[in-house]
């Protein structure tokens, strides 16, 4: 009898501890506590090691953080616990998918959005062997996603709802790890998949799927921001100036990456932030729309929230205006006007040659040394 109770208590405690403590590589993190007099200028920036995190690497390498007077320390983390690592203060700022964080913020996660980084990385794709050509053809079919509640799932749900399909009744959802979605399509286990970069590009390159909804190209999503700058709520409360400075640095880096994608790709690979082939990386980056914006990000938050509520993902009693206000903060000195006036260098060899095709991915994938950094994660 006491055995049972003990095992129950132990399991609960263990689960709580395991869930709460995320895994991050410690980089001798100094306490980012503010000095009693004012704010700190030390900031920890988190990253996973993805192609799309090019603005983070560029901001560090090109000295944008230093320009803003910040002493930066990079903290490398894992996909699975990224949300928790940010919320619990393992690092202070980063940029990541908006839809990944919106529902957790509603549940009480203490993080804030401060600016939009890039648009469009989510897609819904159907197997080439099937007969699905548009979203409407998805009625009654099986859709594979990296998880219920992940950004690809949310995007697919929103697109379906906009096309008159009830995602909770008219389709069947199956969960597979992101890296195995292609395999699921090939084996016929699912009719269509929803995913984020670079899985989407890779599947297209392999010829496994055709895209039927693209967040980067389809209205109204193409103006919507996929990824935004995120900051730990308590850090922001204690250090608003440092938060603003970091945001500016990242937004500037985004603009730089948009102007010089090839240079950004080289930088990411040569400095060993990601394990990939330079050309592959350049392609992926140039396909994303790195146009930083503040208003765009704010709109994205509200729009996502509205669609999520319509799809039943948010609690019925949630007030959307309040949620958007809680989630997005305007920082001093970080405005669209400032962004417009922002100038970045344009390097001669910084851009990708025109006419390069995504199908070149196929050769690049099989080239030695090309590793897919984002495969196998959600």
What is the Cα gyration radius of the chain?
21
Least distance in angstroms from the C-beta of 252 to other proteins:
31
Both tokens of 262, joined, read: 């090839």
Piece in contact with other proteins (CB under 8 A), picked from 41-49, 168-176, 242-250, 291-299? 168-176
Both tokens of 61, joined, read: 């390498």
Which residues between 204 and 243 bind other proteins (CB under 8 A)?
none
Distance set, CA 57 to CA 94, 195, 296, 297, 369 (Å)? 11, 24, 23, 21, 20
Both tokens of 218, joined, read: 């389809």
Compare residues 162 and 173 and give the one whose CB is closer to other proteins: 173
Rounded to whole angstroms, the Cα distance separating 157 from 308 reads 8
Q: According to the binding rule CB under 8 A, does residue 104 interact with other proteins?
A: yes
Piece in contact with other proteins (CB under 8 A), picked from 7-15, 127-135, 246-254, 350-358? 7-15
Both tokens of 221, joined, read: 């999503």
Rounded to whole angstroms, the Cα distance separating 240 from 220 reads 32
Q: Cα dihedral angle (257, 259, 260, 261), rounded to 10 degrees?
A: 60
Piece in contact with other proteins (CB under 8 A), picked from 71-79, 187-195, 212-220, 333-341? 187-195
Residue of the chain from 39, 73, 180, 218 that contacts other proteins (CB under 8 A): 180
Rounded to whole angstroms, the Cα distance separating 169 from 173 reads 10
Which residues between 13 and 32 bind other proteins (CB under 8 A)?
15-16, 19-20
Which residues between 292 and 311 bind other proteins (CB under 8 A)?
311
Residue of the chain from 33, 133, 237, 315 that contacts other proteins (CB under 8 A): 315
Residue of the chain from 63, 312, 333, 369 that contacts other proteins (CB under 8 A): 312
User: Starting at the edge strand that comes first in sequence, how are the strands of the sheet with 42-47 ordered?
Assistant: 71-76, 42-47, 93-97, 225-232, 111-119
Least distance in angstroms from the C-beta of 43 to other proteins:
21
Q: According to the binding rule CB under 8 A, does residue 183 interact with other proteins?
A: yes
Q: According to the binding rule CB under 8 A, does residue 313 interact with other proteins?
A: yes
Residues 6+ apart with CB under 8 A from 129: 188
- The site for other proteins (CB under 8 A) is made up of 1-5, 7-9, 11-12, 15-16, 19-20, 83-84, 87-88, 100, 103-104, 107-110, 144, 147-150, 157, 166-169, 172-177, 180, 183-184, 187-190, 311-313, 315, 317-318, 378
């Amino acid at each position: 009898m006491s055995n049972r109770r003990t095992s129950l208590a132990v399991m609960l405690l263990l689960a709580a501890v395991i869930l709460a403590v995320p895994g991050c590589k410690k980089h001798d993190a100094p306490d980012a506590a503010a000095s009693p007099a004012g704010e700190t200028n030390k900031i920890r920036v988190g990253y996973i090691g993805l192609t799309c995190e090019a603005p983070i690497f560029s901001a560090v390498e090109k000295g944008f953080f230093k320009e803003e007077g910040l002493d930066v320390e990079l903290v490398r983390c894992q996909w699975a616990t990224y949300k928790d690592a940010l919320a619990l203060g393992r690092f202070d700022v980063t940029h990541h998918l908006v839809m990944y964080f919106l529902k957790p913020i509603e549940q009480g996660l203490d993080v804030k959005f401060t600016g939009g980084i890039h648009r469009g990385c989510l897609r819904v794709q159907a197997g080439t062997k099937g007969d699905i050509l548009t979203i409407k053809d998805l009625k009654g079919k099986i859709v594979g996603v990296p998880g219920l509640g992940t950004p690809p799932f949310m995007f697919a749900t929103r697109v379906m709802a906009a096309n008159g399909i009830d995602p909770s009744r008219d389709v069947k959802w199956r969960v597979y790890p992101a890296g195995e979605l292609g395999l699921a399509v090939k084996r016929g286990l699912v009719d269509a998949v929803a995913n984020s970069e670079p899985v989407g590009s890779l599947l297209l390159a392999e010829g496994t799927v055709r895209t039927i909804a693209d967040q980067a190209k389809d209205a109204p999503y193409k103006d919507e921001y996929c990824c935004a700058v995120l900051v730990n709520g308590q850090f922001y409360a204690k250090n608003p100036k440092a938060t603003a400075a970091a945001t500016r640095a990242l937004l500037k880096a985004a603009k730089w990456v948009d102007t010089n994608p090839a240079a950004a790709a080289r930088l990411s690979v040569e400095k060993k932030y990601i394990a990939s082939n330079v050309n592959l990386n350049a392609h992926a980056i140039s396909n994303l729309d790195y146009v930083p914006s503040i208003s765009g990000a704010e709109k994205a938050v509200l729009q996502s929230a509205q669609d999520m509520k319509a799809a039943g993902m948010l609690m019925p009693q949630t007030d959307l205006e309040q949620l958007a206000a809680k989630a997005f903060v305007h920082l001093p000195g970080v405005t669209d006007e400032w962004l417009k006036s922002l100038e970045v260098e344009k390097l001669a060899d910084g851009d990708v040659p025109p006419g390069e095709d995504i199908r070149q991915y196929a050769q690049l994938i099989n080239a030695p040394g090309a590793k897919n950094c984002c495969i196998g994660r959600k």
